[in-house]
Amino acid sequence: MSASAVLLKESDANQARASDPSASAWVSANAGTGKTEVLVKRTLRLLLAGFRPESILCLTYTKTAAAEMQNRLLKVLAEWATINAEGLQEKLSKLLERAPDEKELGTARCLFARALEAKGGLKIHTIHGFCERLLQRFPLEAQVTPHFSVLDEREQALMRRDAFDATVARAAKEKDSALGNPLAKIIALTADEQFRKVIDTVLDKRAELGRLVAYHDGRLDWAEAEGLALKELFGVAEEVEDALVDTLSNVLSDAEIDEALSAFVANGGCKNDDAVAACLAQARRAHGEDRAAALKPLFLTGKDEPRKRLVTADFAAEAPAIADMLLRAQDDFVRLKDKLAHLRVAEASAAVLALADAVQDEYERRKQAEAALDYEDLIVKAQSLLSQADAASWVLYKIDGGVDHMLVDEAQDTNPAQWSIIESLAAEFFAGAGRSERLRTVFAVGDEK
């Protein structure tokens, strides 16, 4: 037997094991190795074993995958209903890896009609589609508006963009407000489109980021909590930006600069030393941020790394005290510059979060006005519904008489929040395992890569 034939036989055997409807299983399969085929086979074998179409729930990652699986299932079931006896015998033998009995042959003939007549049709949904169905069935328990609409990705992006524009316009109008100050800090550091991308990133990740909680004057302030946490992490919790800028710009006093300039006049002449003297002269005429900017090329390279040598060896030999003074000033400049950068990062992060919260609030207000939910709302609210005491068993029971078998496609793309929904449903399966003789299984297939 050739190597390809051995591999094919092994693959068929593995697919047969994976499609066995009597066992819960997790299957690892790379793209193109027949994951959808295994899901279809497992569903067919569950139906042949006598389980109602309504009792089988398959969760896929995309609408395309859901439609593909449903089409494949219905195509096979339609073929079973019309094929001749010999053909059906052959098809079922290949699927079951044994000869079918009379009951299975009779069942196979009826399955297409049963699937079409099933209440609500075959339960093959995306995770978002399943959550939408849950919330539509239990709006009061889930605390959502009955007959809500669901925003698609384009509608969500447009509504969020409008919320962003409205929030920024309000912040620009109220310059000294809790929104105006963060906006001023952010626009000093980034361009408009980059700012929009940063806000979108925060909103996209808000469920993962969570909300760091700080109670300040009796209110919840996520942005302030994040800013304080970063300042403490960077060791700048007690620092004030204006004071740091002032200290940074005065690592060399006017008198020290004058003394250094005199030394360069007396001992200079080298091109490098002349450049140092020019930086010092410019700094002597400047104040604040401008003075710090004038000193920066003296102490740092173009890559913001400390210069290994500030003056020539000849100058250091002629004026060692001045050379040492410049080195001490460089150490102070580097340390203070890092502190200022850390402080500004923490404050800019807090400013971004403050505006992101305001954008989110405006976005939520607009959704509520239109009785709309986005995809993340579907997951979060379904999570909340299923976390209620005994909710999972009640939900499963009420949906078309209950679910006994769950199949999860593309498990590697299912995020933790989505898995918590699957786990809530599956937990009820096994919590009742000792009280029910019904076979209940969970099956997942995914790609390790």
The token pair that represents 103 in the structure block? 């009951």
Opening angle at CA 288, ends 282 and 290, nearest 5? 40
User: pLDDT higher for 391 or 115?
Assistant: 115
Q: Report the C-alpha gap between 134 and 132 in whole angstroms.
A: 5
pLDDT class of 217 with cuts at 50, 70, 90? very low
Q: Report the C-alpha gap between 161 and 362 in whole angstroms.
A: 10
The token pair that represents 109 in the structure block? 């003939």
Over residues 166-209, the pLDDT tens digits come to 999 998 888 888 788 888 888 777 766 788 888 888 887 765 55
pLDDT class of 244 with cuts at 50, 70, 90? very high
Query: How distant, in Å, are the alpha carbons of 157, 205, 351, 356, 362 from that of 195?
Result: 16, 16, 11, 10, 17
Number of other CB atoms surrounding residue 3 within 10 Å: 7
Query: Of all residues in the chain, what percent carry a pLDDT higher than 90?
Result: 40
Over residues 329-352, the pLDDT tens digits come to 999 999 999 999 899 888 888 888
The token pair that represents 446 in the structure block? 């995914």
**What pTM did the predictor assign?**
0.72
Over residues 267-294, the pLDDT tens digits come to 766 788 888 899 999 999 999 999 999 9
